[in-house]
Every structure is written in structure tokens, then in C-alpha cells.
Chains A and B, each alone.
Chain A
């Protein structure tokens, strides 16, 4: 029951975000298209300092469309997001440096499974998006993190290193993407320490509604010597 309540609360977030963001007159213009009454693409090359941009102004600027799984984030801008899923749920913030480079912070927990009693991770990563114009998106990401694990009678932590590639196609106000990542896990035992690893393959879709981004992802967690686990996530984000 707790899982369903959390899911419904998350689903409610995009709706509230839409309501707060004002009326939505259909889908945002696709990349490169001009909107009647707005400057042509390329004319507005500098983002105004005004932080109170309307959703339409935000869309009309010559800046990357907001996204969560794919980059980039406009320079100096932030995309914050929350996701809930099985097995992992979490919070994430991506800050744009410009030139396709973002720094991404994320925190994750097994929220639906056992709240914060399982494995809670923090990670910082750099993401570089090679293809960031037109319909195609392609980027790579590398990060390091720490996972805090607690169990009956013990607790501990281990270091993770992660590398990931993301490829996406922008179709109007949606982006369909696939990603593949590998994660190294530092195993510390009394006699020796060594690196283990696992992999993750995922496909997902994101849709933009002004500054709000919603998405869903299905992934397979591949674990050497163990059966894989199918995971899913529902995401909602907001571009600041």
C-alpha cells in the first residue's frame, strides 16, 4: 500500500507543476522551430537575466530543451528531478556548464522496498553531450559515489565508479532514449579488497510540458553470477 501511495503522489507532481506553470497551449515547439510572435532561432542567443521567465519564454529561448536522462542542461541552469521506482528511487540535480558539459548529483534509496533501510547512495558525475542539436542526443557520463548499506547488526559502505552512455531521439515534446552503464563496486574484505562490477541497460521516454519533464524508464540490472533484475522508474523534473 505504501508503494502505491508514493506512486500516486509522484504522478500528482507533474499535474501540480502544470497548474503552477500556467496554461499549456499544446506541445512546445520542436527544436529549431520558431513560434509566431517570437524571435527566430538564433536571434535570442543570450538568455535574459530575468529569472521569472514564463514557460513560453523558457521554451522560446535558444537553449537546450529540459531533459533528465539526456543532456545537456543550459549553462547556469539547473534541472532538478525526483524519481520513484523499483528497485531504486531518488533525487537528482543537473547543473549546466555550457558546451554540453553538465555536473549531475544524485541520491538514491530503495524507497519502495524498505524506505531508507536498505542501500542509500550518493554520487557526483560529469556528463558530456556530444550530439545536442537537432533530433539526436548522445552523451557519456562518468561518476563516483558512495553507497551506505545497513543490515541487522552491521553497517558499512562501499565506493562505486560508474560510466554510462545515453542516446536519444527527440520527437516533438518527447524524447525516447536508451542507456547502457557499467558500475564498479569496491569490495572490502578482511583478507583482500577488489573491484566487482555490474551493468545496467535501460530504455525510457521523457515528455516536456514547459519547464516540467515527466518520464518513465524500464531497465535491466545485470549482475555477474546472479540473475538479472528488471527495474522501472517514474520521473518528474523541473528546469530552473
Chain B
């Protein structure tokens, strides 16, 4: 074999080797990293399994992503301590505690699961919470955050408590939060290291409040938002933001099977002139 032919063969092999280094890519997920503490101690230290906490009190929004409820009480009136609730808004900069939560009596319903982990196996002990205002049995909700790696039988992310009627709700049939369900479409994905990662859709419905399905019901891709009216018509409509949902077809060690991340809020009422 001549030197020229050898050189060409080497170049061809080098080109093939370069081509075989195929560009794999994973989804980029930035959790809210919700944290809740009572008197400075993380709530997950109080439980050994997934639990629901309901805390009431007068709130103070001390920063866009920090809400404090001094001397928070449970539904029986027992003082549990000073509640501090925070999250990281890096995934969606517009998400913040609504201003209408400041200096009013609120009802915070949150789930604490010491065993819950995030997309890369990192601890995420507070998958979600919702916050209502007022003292009426219907408690109009104003804000909710949820992020979880819980998966259903089909491998899709499962939206569960506290974004569903709970026994702790005064009137579960009148729950005024959007009903959120993850659905797959298989059309958008990333070729990740250990298999395809499919982006999923988020179905948004007003199914909990006893009102028939409305034209507001819809489906959101990642990053999309939608307005939705639920519950008391006097309340301003929700804005639902689907940050991202995905599920994996094949995963490496330490990776979650599925993920969903969502925020929803009602805007602050216009202040009287």
C-alpha cells in the first residue's frame, strides 16, 4: 500500500471516528428547591415518611421567593412555630410569592417527603405547596408550586398532593386550584446518554371546583403558560406556567425516571385609586 493510500485510509478512519462521537444531549432541569422550616429546623426533620402539613397564620412576603408566617398554627389552633418557606426561581424568573399574600391570613398546605429526590438524585424534601387566603371554608387559593419525580404506572410524572383534594381541605369538592395532569406525545425529545428523554405535555383543567369543563382547559408544552378561571368568579384567573415535564426511556444510575415542574398564581388585585 502506498504512503498516499495509507494516508487517505487514516484520514477516512479519523473522520469516521470523529463522526461516531455523536452529540448526545440531556434535558436541562433547574428545580425550585422548595424549602420549609419551623423555628429554623427543616420540616422534613419532623417526619419519617411523606406527610401533609397545614399551617395558618398572618404571612409576610419578605422577598420575592421568601414567605414567613410567624407563630403558625395548625387547624386545631396549636402553635407550631415560625414558618419560613423559600424557593429558587432560577428556572422561571417571573415566579414569586404574590403580593396579595403579604400581611393577610393565609393557609399553607404543603407536602413533605424526606425520601423524595430530584432529577439527579438530589434531596428535594418538599415537592410542593399551595397557599390560600381568607377564612371562609372555600379558602381561595392564590399560589402553588410543584416539582416532583413521582412516576405513575406508565412512567410519566405524577402530579399528586398537595395539588389534589385532600382530607385536610375544609371542602375538597370546592377546591379552586387547576387540575394538572402530565401527558406524553413522543414528538419532542433529547438524545441523552442512556436513552431518549421525552418532553411531556401538561394538561390544565378546572375539574376540582364543581364547574363544568371550560374553554380554558388546555395543554401546555414546556415553558408555556395559560390563564384559567376556577372557583369563585370574583377571583382573578390563574396563570399556570408549565416549566417542564419529561420522562426517560432508559436512564443512567442516579437519574430520575420522570419529572414535572409547575407554578400557578393569581395576580394581585388592582389597588383602589
Interface residues of A (CB under 8 A from B): 3-4, 7-8, 11, 86-87, 110, 112-114, 117-119, 147, 149-154, 156, 158, 185, 187-192, 194, 196, 223, 225-227, 229-230, 232, 234
Question: B22 at the A/B interface (Cβ < 8 Å)?
Answer: yes
Q: Tell me which of A119, A188, A225, A234 contacts B185 (CB under 8 A).
A: A188
A-B contact pairs, 6 of them (CB 8 A): A114-B250, A150-B249, A153-B153, A153-B154, A185-B187, A191-B217
Interface range for B:
35 or more
Extra 15 A-B pairs, beta carbons < 8 Å, given A147-B186, A191-B219, A225-B222: A11-B12, A11-B16, A86-B19, A87-B22, A87-B191, A114-B195, A117-B195, A119-B196, A150-B249, A151-B198, A151-B249, A154-B184, A189-B183, A190-B183, A191-B218
| A112 CB to nearest B CB, Å | 6
Whether A229 pairs with B23 at a CB distance below 8 angstroms is: yes
- In the docked arrangement, what's the CA distance between A194 and B195, Å? 26
Known contacts A154-B184, A188-B185, A189-B185: A229-B25 contact under CB 8 Å:
yes
Question: B17 at the A/B interface (Cβ < 8 Å)?
Answer: yes
CB-CB nearest in chain B for A118: B196
Chain B residues near A187 (CB-CB < 8 A):
185, 187, 201
Chain B residues near A226 (CB-CB < 8 A):
188, 190, 199
Chain A residues near B16 (CB-CB < 8 A):
4, 7-8, 11
Whether A3 pairs with B154 at a CB distance below 8 angstroms is: no
Chain A residues near B203 (CB-CB < 8 A):
189-191
CB-CB nearest in chain B for A1: B20
Chain B residues near A7 (CB-CB < 8 A):
16, 19-20
Chain A residues near B198 (CB-CB < 8 A):
151
Chain A residues near B183 (CB-CB < 8 A):
189-191
CB-CB nearest in chain A for B257: A152
CB-CB nearest in chain A for B27: A226
Known contacts A110-B191, A114-B195: A189-B249 contact under CB 8 Å:
no
Known contacts A189-B203, A191-B205, A229-B191: A151-B155 contact under CB 8 Å:
yes
CB-CB nearest in chain B for A187: B185
Whether A86 pairs with B22 at a CB distance below 8 angstroms is: yes
Known contacts A192-B219, A225-B223, A229-B25: A151-B20 contact under CB 8 Å:
no
Most buried by A among B155, B186, B189: B186
Chain B residues near A118 (CB-CB < 8 A):
196, 249
Question: What are the interface flags for B197-231 relative to A under an 8 Å C-beta threshold, 1 for contact and 0 otherwise?
Answer: 01101010100000000000111011100000000
- In the docked arrangement, what's the CA distance between A236 and B17, Å? 19
- In the docked arrangement, what's the CA distance between A196 and B187, Å? 8
Whether B196 pairs with A112 at a CB distance below 8 angstroms is: no
Q: Tell me which of B22, B154, B223 contacts A154 (CB under 8 A).
A: B154
Interface residues of B (CB under 8 A from A): 12, 16-17, 19-20, 22-23, 25, 153-156, 181, 183-191, 195-196, 198-199, 201, 203, 205, 217-219, 221-223, 247-250, 257
CB-CB nearest in chain A for B155: A153
| A219 CB to nearest B CB, Å | 13
Whether A86 pairs with B23 at a CB distance below 8 angstroms is: yes
Whether A192 pairs with B19 at a CB distance below 8 angstroms is: no
- In the docked arrangement, what's the CA distance between A112 and B198, Å? 18
- In the docked arrangement, what's the CA distance between A194 and B187, Å? 12
Chain B residues near A149 (CB-CB < 8 A):
186
- In the docked arrangement, what's the CA distance between A194 and B203, Å? 13
- In the docked arrangement, what's the CA distance between A232 and B15, Å? 12
Chain A residues near B247 (CB-CB < 8 A):
151-152
| B192 CB to nearest A CB, Å | 10
Chain B residues near A189 (CB-CB < 8 A):
183, 185, 201, 203, 219
Known contacts A149-B186, A190-B203: A3-B155 contact under CB 8 Å:
no
Chain A residues near B221 (CB-CB < 8 A):
225
Chain A residues near B156 (CB-CB < 8 A):
154
Chain B residues near A4 (CB-CB < 8 A):
16-17, 20
Chain B residues near A230 (CB-CB < 8 A):
23
- In the docked arrangement, what's the CA distance between A154 and B156, Å? 9
- In the docked arrangement, what's the CA distance between A189 and B12, Å? 46
Most buried by A among B156, B247, B249: B249
- In the docked arrangement, what's the CA distance between A152 and B247, Å? 9
Q: Tell me which of A8, A153, A158, A229 contacts B186 (CB under 8 A).
A: A158
Chain A residues near B257 (CB-CB < 8 A):
152
| B148 CB to nearest A CB, Å | 17
Q: Tell me which of A87, A112, A156, A229 contacts B184 (CB under 8 A).
A: A156
- In the docked arrangement, what's the CA distance between A226 and B190, Å? 9
Chain B residues near A225 (CB-CB < 8 A):
221-223
Known contacts A3-B22, A229-B23: A152-B218 contact under CB 8 Å:
no
| B250 CB to nearest A CB, Å | 7
